[in-house]
Structure 1
């Protein structure tokens, strides 16, 4: 009998958040890739306002803070992440411009046309790519930018094992042309679309491997945690087996 593999969405949020706490990033990415994406954004000044939606502990947000003069608001649902975010901002002396708040990406605390840039690395999937692009658009000024990373198919066809896994984990996963079309349909001019390098995944899964041992010790005997770790291992195995078929893509658009 085939055992149904679990995805991260099948687990207690407390377990997930604890696993990813005290880490610089909660998903694949790097300062270099954040800066590369930022290079496509024009016109930011000290009067500009950026929102980083699903900011986690703010690894990418601090890079934005160190490389722009803007006010930046990080939004995340998990209070411990926001505490760490604000500690990080203080440690980098960015606290006057960079601030984290607890909030829900389905009900953001911004006024219409308040923002010059919306950023979201590895987080828009929580609301869904199309829904996020459509619902967040009203918060952007005309000519404002959105920059998000999204797990994406690289080919029209792929093996059943990886197709089935991601169809269950994230049914909105799609190909690059379809994602770009969704961005354009939502009212943005697509500015840049590019695949992030394999190195971000290697670093992400290497960190996970190191984290797992301590996490299993902390929750020794906890069956739910053991299943969560098994699911994380399986996801990593799938990536290395099928990485030519999918990965993270940066999508950058400008509100028309």
Structure 2
């Protein structure tokens, strides 16, 4: 088994592959919905298995185009949308979140929960700006340091696992530098980590058993246990924030 196969075995069919909840998605959607341009596509990029896609499809009265780089994730997202009666509201594609396969200046809303890190936030923002219509909206969530306190153990862990991790203030500056207007941002609550992500993930790891024969799977399981332990000890020093941005109308 490759490392990619092992990650898919552990994370692949979870409801969420990162922190978040329907409540937090709706909080962001309620902020931006009154500001959405009348024309333009709604894109859910890096959609994973479609948790955010289903929120958008239920609460926006327009079609959704959802995409992810993994065919297996898209297959699950499509089946789950069909299961809850939303399949006719969503078009699914296999595509990168910075190249979702739509025309420039064609998107009214680009949504991306817990996935922009995979290409880098700066690169993602540059790509999305070119896809959005003037006045178009981007919403994304990103892992950041929340203040000046960076416990050594947590900092060492994230330096290995996410070298591009920055802090909240720097991310706000990056948004402005990429020529977006910051509409709002907020920290995801602790329950968005535990209830919707870490508890199901811990149950998956536990189900694999105390001894895992496959080396790649054992490595992913050990890394996951370590990540959960670091958050349990130091989760008040970092977190996910959701940011809502607007491309200037004149831009």
TM norm. shorter chain > 0.5? yes
SS in 2 for 1:24: coil
User: Counterparts of 2:200 and 2:115 in 1: how far apart (Å)?
Assistant: 19
CA RMSD in angstroms, aligned pairs only: 1.8
Q: Report whether the alignment pairs 1:93 with 2:85.
A: yes
Matched with 2:244 is 252
How big is each residue's C-alpha offset from its partner over 1:86-125, in whole Å with a ceiling of 9 and x where there is no partner?
1122122222221221112243201011100111100000
TM-score by length of 1: 0.90
**More off after superposition, 221-230 vs 155-164:** 155-164
Residues 168 and 63 of structure 1, relative CA distance in 2, 3 Å threshold: same
SS in 2 for 1:40: helix
Higher RCO, 1 vs 2 (CA within 8 Å, ≥6 residues apart)? 2
What is the CA distance between 1:43 and its match in structure 2? 4.4
Matched with 2:30 is 39
What is the CA distance between 1:158 and its match in structure 2? 1.2
- Spell out the pairing of 1:92-171 with structure 2 (5 A cutoff): 92-171=84-163
Matched with 1:16 is 7
What is the CA distance between 1:18 and its match in structure 2? 2.2
TM-score by length of 2: 0.92
Q: 2:204 is matched with which residue: 196, 211, 214?
A: 211
SS in 2 for 1:105: coil
Q: Report whether the alignment pairs 1:183 with 2:175.
A: yes
Q: Which runs of 5+ in 2 are unaligned?
A: none
How big is each residue's C-alpha offset from its partner over 1:145-179, in whole Å with a ceiling of 9 and x where there is no partner?
00000001011241221112112211221111110
Over 3 Å off, 4+ runs: 43-48
The question of whether the paired residues in 2 share the 8 Å contact of 1:48 and 1:71 is answered with no
Q: Which runs of 5+ in 1 are unaligned?
A: 1-10
**More off after superposition, 95-104 vs 197-206:** 95-104
User: Counterparts of 1:39 and 1:106 in 2: how far apart (Å)?
Assistant: 25
What is the CA distance between 1:44 and its match in structure 2? 4.4
User: Counterparts of 1:43 and 1:155 in 2: how far apart (Å)?
Assistant: 30
User: How many positions carry a matched residue from both structures?
Assistant: 245
Matched with 1:51 is 43
Residues 92 and 237 of structure 1, relative CA distance in 2, 3 Å threshold: same
User: Counterparts of 2:241 and 2:153 in 1: how far apart (Å)?
Assistant: 21
How big is each residue's C-alpha offset from its partner over 1:25-46, in whole Å with a ceiling of 9 and x where there is no partner?
1111100000001011124488
Matched with 1:8 is none
How big is each residue's C-alpha offset from its partner over 1:206-241, in whole Å with a ceiling of 9 and x where there is no partner?
111111133358x94112211210110000000011
